[in-house]
Amino acid sequence: MPRLLKTHYSAVVTVNGHVHRLTVPGHERLLTTLRERLHLFSARYGCGTGHCGACVVLVNEEPVPSCLLLTVRQQKNRIQTLEGLKKDSLLAQLMTSFAEEHAAQCGYCTPGLLLSARHLLKTCPSATESQLREELSSHICRCTGYYAPLRAIAKVRDSYAVD
Amino acid sequence: MRWIEAHTIRQVQRCLSANVPIVGGGSWLLSDGSVPEAVCDLREYPWAQGITGNESGWMIGPDVTLSQWLQALDSENVIAEVIRKMGTPIFRRVATVIGAVANPQPVADLYPVMRLLGADIFYIDLHHDSIQHEKLMWPFRANPRALVGLWVPASTPYRFIAFRKYTKGRLTRVLLNLGTGLAQQGDIMTADFVIGGLSQWPYEDRVAGASHSISHQISQRLRNQGNITPFYQALIMEMCDDVLNQWEHRADRRSEL
């Protein structure tokens, strides 16, 4: 075989600004690494196929499903989870708005929703209703019916635009 | 699982001869849940990287995600229209374009429009020591092969290309899709269509005639197929009529894609 005649690899991954040197199996997903090795539990296992959005993390500032990423391939990327954004003012506004609008019930999908909402408002501060819906289509929420999260994000968008 | 980064044709050929699965983004591999003994990663393959776009067309490398291509496209472009209907934003950020055409499926959204646009695939196989290319067409004639590039020409024989799909929900399997290319010379109209979901491989056909008879001809053609259920016949005809209606009402039919 051409290269890498082994099943475990050394991976240097940067998560929330911290550099971690790990030895992981070639098939290990980023979600598993975050939860089981780094004990960052905001990303949750939902479907394992990239459809539910519960496992969303930011890779180079873009929300992506961590269940569809292999840890060994993240060496050049900057990974951020909700835990790493404690001091982010936009995220704080979103969390307050989610609480005020009752947009989180069981909370399983909430970290993913917050990260996607933050990304959208950062890249498109005056996002339209259809853009909000498009971004939220990445997430499955079985509690809220989506209206409450939509309201919460729209509320932050409106105040964000005014700011 | 061994992770093999192939940098040369010979390395890719070794993987192909050992039946090692080829991955670009690897999203299909992980959503499938399988863990093969080894995989061959083409994202570092040096021949084609990233998106190259100019007036003659697009060259897409194995590392390009659906989301990256969508951002590079004009929002009115038919390819952008198709990609926007594929999966969700987070999924499009990890799934690659090459992956979407390299894994033949009964219903695949990118395939009909790529066929109508006359896309070429560039690939490595076991019989040639250089990169080969041919028109994209499923099922692939020669196996095994590793796709390393997709070429989509900017010029097309059609005046209008449209895409429609039918699915019960955004996150569920696509049940049917239709790509239609319309061309017109004088009073004669030609409609090429590619339909996914009717059989194992997408069904392709062409009808030509006076513009008012096109819809009737497509309907006849579908009826002659025999194995298409009345529901799907009605669904396809509704999609075709919608496309023809959109064509009829275009303000300037001379405008290209």
Assign residue A12 the CATH number of its domain. Answer: 3.10.20.30
Give how far the C-alpha of residue A62 lies from the chain's centroid of Cα atoms, to the nearest Å. 8
User: Cα(A117)–Cα(A102) distance, rounded to whole angstroms?
Assistant: 16
The per-residue pLDDT for B252 is 52
Residues A7, B2: C-beta atoms closer than 8 Å: yes
Which of A19, A49, A76 delimits the end of a domain? A76
Q: How far B41 CA sits from the closest chain A CA (Å)?
A: 10
One domain, residues A91 and A153: yes
Expressed as residue numbers, the domain containing A71 is 8-76
- Contact assessment for residue B179 and residue B112, using Cβ atoms and an 8 Å cutoff: yes
Q: Which DSSP category does B240 fall into?
A: H
- The architecture of the domain spanning B2-153 is 2-Layer Sandwich (3.30)
Three-state DSSP state, A39: coil
Return the biggest CA–CA distance within chain B.
60
> For all residues of chain B together, what is the average pLDDT?
87
Any chain A CB within 8 A of the CB of B168?
no
**B101: nearest Cα among B111, B92, B93:** B111
Say how many domains are in chain A: 2
Q: Which residues of A lie closer than 8 Å to B, measured between beta carbons?
A: 1-7, 9, 25-27, 29, 48-51, 53, 56, 62-65, 67-70, 72-73, 116, 134-135, 137-138, 140
Confidence of residue A154 (pLDDT cuts 50, 70, 90): very high
State the Cα angle at B100 between B102 and B31, rounded to 5°: 100
Three-state DSSP state, B141: coil
For residue A149, tell me if it sits in a domain. yes
One domain, residues A24 and A71: yes
Look up tokens 């799934």; give the residue: B95
ipTM metric: 0.91
For residue A125, tell me if it sits in a domain. yes
The per-residue pLDDT for B256 is 45
User: Cα(B124)–Cα(B150) distance, rounded to whole angstroms?
Assistant: 13
**Tens of pLDDT, residues B35-87:** 788 889 888 788 777 899 888 999 999 989 999 999 999 888 899 989 998 88
User: Cα(A109)–Cα(A127) distance, rounded to whole angstroms?
Assistant: 21
Which of A76, A103, A132 delimits the end of a domain? A76
Residues B31, A5: C-beta atoms closer than 8 Å: no
One domain, residues A32 and A51: yes
Cα-Cα end-to-end distance for chain B: 44
State the Cα angle at B81 between B214 and A112, rounded to 5°: 145
For residue A62, tell me if it sits in a domain. yes
Interface test with B, best of A31, A70, A136 (most B CBs within 10 A): A70
One domain, residues A94 and A42: no
For residue A156, give Cα distances in angstroms to A84, A90, A106: 20, 8, 22
For residue A81, tell me if it sits in a domain. no
**Out of A51-65, A119-133, B90-104, B118-132, least confident range:** B90-104
Domain positions in chain B are 2-153, 160-248
For residue B52, give Cα distances in angstroms to B25, B90, B149: 18, 23, 11
- The architecture of the domain spanning B160-248 is 2-Layer Sandwich (3.30)
